[in-house]
Amino acid sequence: MSDPICPLCERPIPEDVPQSLHHLIPRSKGGKGGETVLLHHQCHKEIHAALSEGALARNFNTIEALKVHPRLMRYISWVAKRPASFISRTKVNRR
């Protein structure tokens, strides 16, 4: 069976790499029980470092919307050049 693909960076998520489920609408904003997507844990951390829960709920509640956020566009372009097993620290800078 092949590895799942991270919908944000579109790289495979190997079994031995940290991964997490992202609620497209944050649980604290009414998304409990809502749609989730499996991401590299690093990609998930980058989303939450870039955007507040309110912004995620209002304007960035789809993968397509996340992919056009300026910080996430730069991140995706950067991380695409790394192997799927690459892990890096994420700098928090909301807004």
* pLDDT band per the 50, 70, 90 thresholds, residue 39: very high
* pLDDT band per the 50, 70, 90 thresholds, residue 88: confident
Residue spans of alpha helices (H) in the chain: 41-50, 53-58, 63-67, 70-79
Which pTM does this prediction carry? Answer: 0.87
Whether the per-residue pLDDT at 70 is higher than 60: the answer is: yes
* pLDDT band per the 50, 70, 90 thresholds, residue 83: confident
Question: Burial letters for 3-26: b for 16+ Cβ neighbours within 10 Å, e otherwise?
Answer: eeebbbbebbbeeebebeebbbbb
Pairwise pLDDT comparison (91 vs 5), residue with the higher score: 5
